[in-house]
């Protein structure tokens, strides 16, 4: 009997385990679209925040166990768990507590709204992928550009099919070739109105912000009223993710790293230390 069990485990270990998470919550249609996209690439395990967690970054908060929830996609029962925590902690639940073997890939998304510009670390979608990378798991964050009124929604008005197509394309590449050397995760952003034939481009995170706080003056002082996207084409780098998604309307693929160290030259260090 022990040998029989061993053979079952060995066979299963050869099947890639793909973890799906997000920051919009387990009920998000975007998450369902990601699951649907990669069902043919391996065994899918869903571990996602129980509630909406947008803009959580890589924060660690929330307590509670991963609770199993029924989840059926294309008439297939997929193992799924909801966790009352941040996206990053949901990833730790997935990789360290729930998974029966090392994940071959983690996909975070598909997110309502683009995650581009130098505010990407605010994103819970990106934060979840960074946490997976921190645990040594190849990771992708996938987002689709939408109007801001959809960012905290589970609206069915958004068509995730094209973003799901690109999620499948890049998941297949990562499973076949591994992550690009020097990258810890991929941040993939699909422009609004994209098609399956839309080109994709390697990009860098724009040094400029993309979302800016909006402020109003009232008799009691200044107050935040929300945020809006702003783009200055004159100052954008030619290879910036913002330019790709907003101006050129191509799919942006930014390889990101956990190493946030600035590359300060020896000469500059010497000048600064004088």
Which tens digit of pLDDT belongs to each residue from 35-55? Answer: 999 999 999 999 999 999 999
How do residues 149-161 score in pLDDT, each as one tens digit? Answer: 999 999 999 999 9
Give the pLDDT band (50/70/90) at residue 228: very high
Task: Return all residues near 55 (Cβ < 8 A) that are at least 6 apart.
Answer: 23, 122, 123, 124
In 3D space, the residue among 125, 44, 142, 131 whose CA is nearest the CA of residue 96 turns out to be 131
Please give the sequence-ordered ranges of beta strands (E in DSSP) within the chain, or none if there are none: 17-21, 43-49, 67-68, 72-73, 76-77, 79-83, 105-112, 139-144, 185-190, 200-202, 211-218, 221-229, 251-256
Degrees to nearest 5, angle at CA 202 with 196 and 203:
115
Q: What is the dihedral of CA 44, 49, 54, 59, to 10 degrees?
A: -110
For residues 4 and 27, give the distance between their C-alpha atoms in angstroms, rounded to a whole number: 38
- Segment 79-105 shows an average pLDDT of 98
Do residues 203 and 114 lie in contact, with contact meaning Cβ atoms separated by under 8 Å?
A: no
Task: Return all residues near 235 (Cβ < 8 A) that are at least 6 apart.
Answer: 208
Q: Which residues of 232-242 are buried (b: 16+ CB within 10 A; e: fewer)?
A: eeeebeeebbb
The CATH H-level (homologous superfamily) assignment of domain 12-205+237-273 is Survival protein SurE-like phosphatase/nucleotidase (3.40.1210.10)
pLDDT at 14 (0 to 100): 85
- Segment 76-100 shows an average pLDDT of 98
Average pLDDT in the chain: 95
For residues 154 and 174, give the distance between their C-alpha atoms in angstroms, rounded to a whole number: 28
Residue 249 CA: distances (Å) to CA of 102, 114, 255: 36, 12, 19
pLDDT at 232 (0 to 100): 95
Residue 223 CA: distances (Å) to CA of 173, 217, 218, 226: 46, 7, 7, 9
For residues 209 and 23, give the distance between their C-alpha atoms in angstroms, rounded to a whole number: 21
Give the pLDDT band (50/70/90) at residue 231: very high
In 3D space, the residue among 5, 42, 270, 10 whose CA is nearest the CA of residue 168 turns out to be 42
How do residues 123-145 score in pLDDT, each as one tens digit? Answer: 999 999 999 999 999 999 999 99
pLDDT at 7 (0 to 100): 52
pLDDT at 1 (0 to 100): 47
Do residues 103 and 45 lie in contact, with contact meaning Cβ atoms separated by under 8 Å?
A: yes
Domain ranges of the chain: 12-205+237-273
Do residues 128 and 46 lie in contact, with contact meaning Cβ atoms separated by under 8 Å?
A: no
Give the pLDDT band (50/70/90) at residue 12: low
Residue 218 CA: distances (Å) to CA of 107, 176, 221, 222: 43, 56, 5, 6
Q: Which residues share a beta bridge with 214?
A: 226
pLDDT at 9 (0 to 100): 52
pLDDT at 4 (0 to 100): 54
Residue 41 CA: distances (Å) to CA of 44, 227, 239, 267: 9, 38, 31, 49
Please check the confidence at residue 3 and state whether its pLDDT lies above 90: no
Please check the confidence at residue 13 and state whether its pLDDT lies above 90: no
Please check the confidence at residue 209 and state whether its pLDDT lies above 70: yes
Total residue count of the chain as it appears in this document: 274
């Amino acid at each position: 009997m022990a040998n029989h069990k061993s053979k079952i485990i060995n066979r299963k270990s050869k099947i890639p385990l793909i973890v799906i998470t997000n920051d919009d919550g387990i009920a998000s249609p975007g998450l369902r679209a990601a699951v649907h996209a990669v069902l043919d690439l391996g065994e899918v395990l869903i571990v996602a925040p129980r509630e909406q967690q947008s803009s959580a970054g890589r924060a660690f908060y929330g307590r509670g166990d991963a609770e199993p929830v029924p989840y059926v996609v294309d008439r297939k029962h997929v193992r799924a768990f909801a966790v009352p925590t941040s996206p990053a902690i949901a990833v730790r639940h997935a990789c360290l507590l729930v998974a029966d073997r090392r994940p071959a890939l983690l996909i975070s998304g598909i997110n309502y709204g683009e995650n581009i510009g130098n505010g990407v670390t605010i994103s819970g979608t990106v934060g979840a992928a960074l946490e997976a990378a921190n645990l040594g798991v190849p990771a992708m964050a996938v987002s689709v550009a939408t109007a801001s009124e959809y960012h905290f929604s589970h609206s069915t008005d958004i068509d995730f099919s094209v973003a799901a197509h690109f999620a499948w394309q890049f998941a297949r590449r990562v499973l076949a070739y591994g992550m690009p050397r020097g990258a810890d995760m991929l941040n993939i952003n699909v422009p609004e109105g994209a098609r399956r034939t839309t080109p994709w481009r390697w990009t860098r995170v724009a040094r400029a912000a993309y979302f800016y706080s909006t402020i109003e003056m009232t008799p009691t002082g200044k107050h935040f009223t929300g945020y809006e996207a702003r783009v200055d084409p004159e100052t954008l780098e030619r290879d910036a993710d913002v330019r790709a998604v907003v101006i050129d309307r191509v799919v942006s693929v930014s390889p990101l790293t956990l190493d946030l160290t600035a590359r300060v030259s020896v000469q500059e260090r010497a000048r600064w230390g004088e």
